[in-house]
Amino acid sequence: MTTQSFWVEPTMLEGTHVMLEPLAQKHADDLFAAAQPDEIWEWLVAAQPKTREEMRAWIQRAEQDIASRKQLWFAIIVRADNRAVGVTSYMDIHPKDRGLEIGGTWLTPAVWRTSINTECKYLLLRHAFENLGYIRVQLKTDARNLRSQRAIERLGAIKEGVLRKHVILHTGYQRDTVMFSIIDSEWAGVKARLEEKLGQQTQ
């Protein structure tokens, strides 16, 4: 296969509880409402959009990322009411090495500790390994964000280490980043655990 075969094209991923749609302006109002709680933004690199215009401008930049194949952003849609409750993405995409990152994820707190985030990660991982033929998926989080680290570990990802002073946040804070990964030889076991977990969870 050529490198071109491993390009990540915009697509819709459908699960039982959620759909992941390529991010677009039609999601702006839902996402602005979802983004209001301050606790979403405590650990994120991006600043909280304070107005609808800021949300639309952020989505416009995300659409440019999608068009340039820099990053593939998705709106996270709850199937029960067709409402966008957050975003996620494929980023740091390396077709030659068949590796990418799942990141940029935020969700409104009303759906924290439900099946929503678990199913999002399941859909993204399954697509990366089974449809795109990638061999490595990485995830990362702020070293201070223990809740996120526990959630990533529950996916079955392996902690690889800490990148010190890796990112400067919009607040000026110099963040240490904890890196995790799942590789293709681990996917079957991770998939089985996630499918069991999703079968036990309710939205």
Residue spans of the domains in the chain: they are: 3-200
Tell me the C-alpha distance between 97 and 134, whole Å: 8
**pLDDT per residue over 134-155, tens digit each?**
999 999 999 999 999 999 999 9
Average pLDDT of the segment spanning 178-188: 98
Strands 136-142 and 158-168: unpaired
Assess contact for 151 and 128: CB atoms under 8 A.
no
Average pLDDT of the segment spanning 37-55: 94
Q: How many residues can be counted in the chain?
A: 203
* Single-letter code of the amino acid located at 184: D
Homologous superfamily of the 3-200 domain (CATH): Gcn5-related N-acetyltransferase (GNAT) (3.40.630.30)
Q: What pLDDT does 202 receive?
A: 45
**pLDDT per residue over 55-75, tens digit each?**
999 999 999 999 998 999 999
**pLDDT per residue over 87-123, tens digit each?**
999 999 999 999 999 999 999 999 998 999 999 999 9
CA dist 79 to 12, 14, 156, 203, Å?
13, 9, 26, 11
Closest CA to 62 of 111, 112, 107, 25: 25
Q: What pLDDT does 137 receive?
A: 98
